[in-house]
Amino acid sequence: MRSIVKALLFLVLIVLVGFTLVINEDEVPTLPTTDAEEISLETKLPNFDPGLIDYIDLGTMKASWYGPGFHGRKTANGEKFDQMSYTAAHKNLKFGTLLKVTNPINGKSIVVRINDRGPYIEGRDLDLSKAAAHELGLMRRGIAKLKVEKLEISGLDEMVTN
């Protein structure tokens, strides 16, 4: 009788540990919270006019994400890869290009900066950092078709020098 109770307790323990691992699978360390006003373009560039942003539709791209195995390694543009930043890899977009990426399933959008090359898996167009994928709700599925728009900011050089 005692061995049956021990076996049942052992099974319950394994189920609980397994359940905990499944729950924690999509957790990403949270980014430091900042006052949204502090990081707005209007604050950083007091002369900024939102009407100066043009959104150029690049269509739908098949995106995946990468992170843990590459964190801290050099990206193609020479900077250290930070899986908790909003960056992405693309095969040929210019480094520094800003993209507004939207998940049509949940309507979430973010802006990422191209700092790396890839993805190197056939049929994929964009590799997002772990933080970007988490924000868009892609962690579990891993791959999604996203709406992509290129941001072009007119007169940015003049605003920065003033």
DSSP class of 40? S
CA angle 24, 83, 87 (to 5 degrees): 130
Per-residue model confidence as pLDDT tens digits over 101-138: 999 999 999 999 999 999 989 999 999 999 999 999 99
For residue 62, which of 142, 125, 154, 8 has the smallest C-alpha distance? 125
Helices then strands, counting H and E runs in the chain, come out as 4, 6
Residue 138's alpha-carbon distances to 43, 61, 92, 105, 127, in angstroms, are 30, 14, 23, 10, 11
All structural domains of the chain: 47-161 (2.40.40.10)
More confident residue, 12 or 146: 146
The pLDDT value recorded for residue 160 is 54
**pLDDT tens digits, 12-63:** 445 544 543 343 444 444 444 444 434 444 455 556 667 788 899 999 999 9
Does the structure show a pLDDT above 90 at 96?
yes
Is the pLDDT confidence value at 153 over 60? yes
Residue 45: per-residue pLDDT: 54
Position 91, amino acid: K
